[in-house]
Amino acid sequence: MTRYSIFSLIKQGLIRHTGWKRAWRNPEPKAAYDVIIIGGGGHGLATAYYLAKLHGIHNVAVLEKGWLGGGNTGRNTTIIRSNYLLDPNAHLYEHSMKLWEGLSQDLNFNVMFSQRGVLNLCHSKAQTDAFARRGNAMRLNGIDAELLSRDEVRKRIPELDFSDQVRFPICGGLLQPRGGTARHDGVAWGFARAADQRGVDIIQNCEVTDFIIEGGRVTGVETTRGKITAGKVAMAVAGHTGVLAQKAGLTLPIESHILQAMVSEPLKPLLDTVVTFGAGHFYISQSDKGGMVFGGDIEGYNSYAQRGNLPTLEHVISAGVSMMPCLSRVRMLRSWGGTVDMTMDGSPIIGKAPIEGLFINGGWNYGGFKATPGSGWVYAHTIANDAPHPLNEAFTLERFARGRLIDERGAGANPALH
């Protein structure tokens, strides 16, 4: 397998880029594997990569019903941050952030991780206090956080609405300088290539139709390409965790909802950071191609349709225009929707399922992309050792029955509100 470098690029340039080889194999599924990972998105591929790299488990298959990264990995707004208040979240996402910081070198694949900063705006004295509290909690957990004044925010992003007659004046903001964005498809491709190099079979167009359970233990799966047995089976299927878990007889504390995102036509450089509106739900950044990439709330009703409705787009855009009035004349290029697993406390589930040999990684709400390397890292540890890592031991499925919720937003058992 070619190692990507400046030299490989020059060499290919000289022969008009005709010599690039495909980045991963397209193998037929074997009859048996040590570990089967269901779901060829970022999380599943990262799990396979870390299983092979850190735990010496190479006989692994990643089964994907469609194509690599075709679900939420390719549909998110690519924001990466670890600005969480609660300890379990802070530790997990900060671990992920540290992996992001070395990921392009580790994978030998440019994931275009850009630490351009993530700035949350606040619009009242009370919100400023709450942000100061979260910033302090972050710093106590070793995460970078800076509370900015109105003037400091204005210096960084003069395009925001600082006029006198606004409904939600900007009082300041909480900045995580190490936050940023990455190329989402590149993350899936980078993990796929690196996992494939370590012997992992990535099998696309292979949908899991049922689990094979013998004597209370999962021993394999039925797929559209035949039966495959495995010592361990691990789910990593984003918005469809509920549907897949039903096949194993599990009912989960999850509802599937739609989240939409949008991109504008490409513009000249306008915004060099990620900024979020604090008086509504709106987040925006500018892609390397120049498009303004933004999103907001979920639709609020259960759906697997992977498409949303116009009122939500209108709501998101109106929040954006009140934050950044110059957006009002920007033309929209595309909008799209993804199916997200909304859990009852707004935090993910990563750990062992109640059936022996089965593992669950899901319920990422709408924050899964930033967790991709960290999620794969802790999930691989959990699968290899049959026990969670300290970083994910709080994220069990059992926490709901035991009342140990991780409710970052404090919204209670209403998935549509997280």
Q: Is 417 a residue that touches another protein (CB under 8 A)?
A: no
Stretch that binds another protein, among 115-123, 125-133, 172-180, 243-251 (CB under 8 A): 243-251
β partners of residue 229: 32, 220
At which residue do the structure tokens 């349709």 appear?
305
Give the footprint of another protein on residues 298-317 (CB under 8 A): 300-305, 309-311
In the list 2, 224, 328, 414, the residue contacting another protein (rule: CB under 8 A) is 414
In the list 130, 229, 356, 400, the residue contacting another protein (rule: CB under 8 A) is 400
| Distance separating the N- and C-terminal Cα atoms of the chain | 43
If the CB atoms of residues 9 and 305 are measured against another protein, the closer one turns out to be 305
- The pair of structure tokens assigned to 122 is 């606040």
Stretch that binds another protein, among 90-98, 158-166, 240-248, 317-325 (CB under 8 A): 240-248
Nearest-approach distance from CB 310 to another protein, in angstroms? 6
Nearest-approach distance from CB 355 to another protein, in angstroms? 16
Three-class secondary structure of residue 220 per DSSP: strand
Q: Find, among 173, 115, 174, 180, the residue nearest to 145 by Cα.
A: 174
In the list 166, 243, 267, 321, the residue contacting another protein (rule: CB under 8 A) is 243
Give residue 54's Cα distance to chain centre: 21
If the CB atoms of residues 216 and 311 are measured against another protein, the closer one turns out to be 311
Q: Is 14 a residue that touches another protein (CB under 8 A)?
A: no
- The pair of structure tokens assigned to 133 is 């509290």
Nearest-approach distance from CB 247 to another protein, in angstroms? 11
Q: Find, among 379, 378, 385, the residue nearest to 359 by Cα.
A: 379
Q: Is 354 a residue that touches another protein (CB under 8 A)?
A: no
Stretch that binds another protein, among 139-147, 176-184, 244-252, 268-276 (CB under 8 A): 244-252
Q: Is 252 a residue that touches another protein (CB under 8 A)?
A: yes
Q: Is 209 a residue that touches another protein (CB under 8 A)?
A: no
Q: Find, among 260, 255, 223, 262, the residue nearest to 239 by Cα.
A: 255
Stretch that binds another protein, among 121-129, 143-151, 237-245, 348-356 (CB under 8 A): 237-245
If the CB atoms of residues 20 and 301 are measured against another protein, the closer one turns out to be 301
Please answer whether residues 382 and 351 qualify as being in contact, where contact means their C-beta atoms are separated by less than 8 angstroms.
yes
Stretch that binds another protein, among 34-42, 67-75, 167-175, 409-417 (CB under 8 A): 409-417
Stretch that binds another protein, among 121-129, 208-216, 252-260, 362-370 (CB under 8 A): 252-260
Please answer whether residues 310 and 346 qualify as being in contact, where contact means their C-beta atoms are separated by less than 8 angstroms.
no
Residue 404 and residue 384: Cα distance in Å, rounded? 25
Three-class secondary structure of residue 7 per DSSP: helix
Nearest-approach distance from CB 333 to another protein, in angstroms? 21
Burial 149-172, CB ≥16 within 10 A → b, else e: ebeebeebbeebbeeeeeebebbb
Give residue 204's Cα distance to chain centre: 20
Q: Find, among 181, 150, 138, 131, the residue nearest to 369 by Cα.
A: 181
Residue 369 and residue 392: Cα distance in Å, rounded? 17
**Interaction site with another protein (CB under 8 A):** 240, 242-243, 246, 251-256, 300-305, 309-311, 344, 400-401, 413-416
